[in-house]
Structure 1
Amino acid sequence: MVASRYRLDASIGEGGMGRVWRAVDEMLDRRVAVKEMRIEGLDPEDARTRRERTLREARATARIDHPGVVRVYDVVDEGERLWIVMELVQGRSLEQLLVEDGPLPAAEVGRIGLSLAEALREVHAGGVLHRDIKPGNVLLENVGQRRVMLTDFGIAAIQDAKALTMVGMLVGSPDYMAPERVAGRPQGPPSDLWSLGATLCAALGGTSPFSRETTLATLHAVLYEEPRLPPEAGPLAPLLAGLLAKEPGDRPDVAAVTRALTPAAPQQHPEAPRPETRTLDIGLRRPEPAPDPEQVPEPVRGHRRRTTLVATGGALAAALAVTLALTLPDGDPRAGGPTPTTSRPPTVEGTSRPPTATLPAGARREAGYAWVPPKGWERVVKTASEVHYTSPDGTQELVAQSALAKDDLLATWRTSERAAHQGRDYRKLRLARTTFRGRPAVVWEYLFTLEGDRWHAELLGFDRGSRSYQIGTWYRPQAGPQARRTYERVKSTFTELGPAGG
């Protein structure tokens, strides 16, 4: 029981900032989601910053009363733990939907985009920036027209409040992070709209138009490359290109986005009052017919490029220069690893399918694979299909992920390796084709220096059918023999499960 009122039932999500529980409000007899923010074990300054950040998250979201934003009901402060009580959404996140069912038709994406644009109009009018719009933070309710909702304002900033400085932390997903945020420049509503554009592209094509095989390549693409718009975009392509303009002033505003998306969602219903309790089914609505291409305006603006600073994530200081970032290919242990995106959405009761593969004893199932991670290591969920584990002493990290197979993996990694040569202290040990359990694979092993510390990285990648899998590690050289044994042991337990985890 939390605050002698909220009875925790089951854990439904976990990420870098805490855990989310399905719970029952005993006083009002309704089901809720309770977000547990753990701050024990931190030094006083970190604990203070975490508490202020959590309370600001709750205040920012509680100020917004809109059907497209998850409602905050209550905040409970218990000293070493904070609890945020939220509306429980019965459904899946857009990220889970894409992993389990694949990309969506353009008409459905138009409807989702229109709902999100209308929610953002309300959010921005309240002086709030979301700052972390991505498929993992878009929830789709399992009823009727599938109400679309924004959640996890964990890094939202109230524009008239003093900004918090999260030393050593870049919160967010590079794939969906606006160029000005990556560069450390001022942000505003156009930054959220850029992330909306990347999210809608992912809904159409399965991934962000800036997703690359490494964190470095992703950051470079966000800053300097044109977006790879999905072929399925069709009449939505001009709007998406405008939203993804490099300069904030070149992007359409939320009113223009709403006008452009309205023809793509002809069956959109007016906003209805939000019930406090309801019974939900698990049906999914069939998509509407494709929109008329002539009805979609073309808010396409010029793109300008700018030399900027690159921020890297994890537990390191943010805002490393491009020249330093180039020494950090896929295996940067504090740069988020390969293609970092999101933790599992906090207010979703997800659905999953039972595994069909024979799993080793103690295996933990993820989206698309299972493995046996070391006991006692810190688990961080980056996306529904990418998970990291860090050793208690911080000298080793393990990562695994699954995604749709694309280009030849060796060719992609060679491109990233060439970029790494532009930096300092990178030394390739090997980058070549190999085998894993008797089938084709690619291995990339190298050394690099980060903030004066030397690291050893090894990545293994392979394709199985339409899916691509990666499992890797990076460790301090002094942990070498034991780190190698740990990696080999965990790698031996890796089991592919397919796109739906079963």
Structure 2
Amino acid sequence: MGRVWRAADDMLDRTVAVKEIRIDGRAPDDPEDARTRRERTLREARATARIDHLNVVRVYDVVDDGERLWIVMELVTGRSLERITAEDGPLHPGEAARIGLGLVAALRQVHERGVLHRDIKPGNVLIEAPGQRVVLTDFGIAAIQDAKALTMVGMLVGSPDYMAPERVSGRPQGPPSDLWSLGATLAAALSGRSPFSRGTTLATLHAVLYEEPEIPAAAGPLHPLLTALLAKDPQARPALDALEAALRPIAHPEPVPTVTLPRPAPRPTHPQPHPGPHRRPEPPPPPRPPGPGPWWHRRRTALAAAAGVAAVGAVVAAVLVTATSGSPRDDDGDRAGGGGGGPSPTVTATVEGTYRPPSLPPGARQEAGGYAWDPPEGWRRDVRTGAEVHYTSPDGAQELVAKSSLARGDLMETWRTSEENARQGRDYRKIRLEETTFRGGPAVVWEYTFTLEGVAWHARLLGFNVDGKSYQVNTWYQPGIEEQALATYEDVKKSFTVL
């Protein structure tokens, strides 16, 4: 249908993208069809050029050259969503929701100007680095499509895997048709393929028209939303405002971990049976991100019993941060980053082509998240995920947490956003949020206090990146044991080793 060229604008001294589009009529002896299609493409391309929005590719000019149109556009430096999923694997629901919000913002601008994109698919969604801007592109191809496209002999315009059923059957189209394609695109971001993709074009078109979508199991909280977007009836699909309202809490949820009142230590003269696990204030997972990251937090909810009294969670702010910079190595012993004079992970060459694994501190325990540490003996262990492990002191007055995830986004910016959201927490008070170092590399420390059911808590979080992964070593404790709690925390940080 067309080719995209990287070109130089000599007049304005800038690099641009130039889309070459053929406007030949579908029937060689029908010049009226070619003329109509040229006018339609020019009109819609001009309408798109009037859209000045962060999430829409900017169109600078349209050149009519007989059988071809040349659309001069902004050159977006980044990868398409299709390429990202092919190279990096499927996205997390939070990351997919963040991209969905960018596309919703783009479609709102496009639809308000009476334009339909008509070809939303992963290949036409660009993610610009380093800011992770979501950009909807390829309006030139979209303008070729019209309501009669599939009633013309042998001509299929667009991608069947992402084409709304009303478009396939030749029925009237409108904004809900773009929303169908958006739903199929988000589903593909979660699984790597369209929910209607089949072995042949005919089988794919049959699936679009008559079969229920194959929503990926990884959709999680996006499952009901994707089901609604992929409804066969256009009127049953959510509008843009409703879609945005549903995506936002998934893409940027409030960091609301759950906490329980500390369990009193058993009295020596009245031994108690060991109660079930309970939770301390904890940072939720990140916006993945995904990235993304980028980028994603989860809302955690839980109830736990302690000494026969049910305790409810409260709003506490914290974050499992993902970022892309820094490779902590040697310990510098600064106060904010911690680390003291403990051992640092080293990789020592032996014979050429072989290496020794990092040396671990005595007693260190290796975790599935790709790190090892030496938590205190006698503390209760609670594995939340393979990469997130908690240890709680016997009296319930302190908890230690270690986590890892893919590094996505800017480390400090992610923590700053979470700190802003945390201000809604009960009696939240920030002590500091600042850049620091940990073992010679960049890190971020976040320290704050909060109150839960009348009990004061103090939190200290440390995050840093190593070789594309993000790590955290955190603690929260009751202020009455601060000296002992910080000493325990420093020992654990000294033992933390990236494998």
TM-score, normalising length: structure 2: 0.48
Q: Which has the higher contact order (CA 8 A, sep 6+)?
A: 1
Choose 1 or 2 for highest CA Rg: 2
TM-score, normalising length: structure 1: 0.48
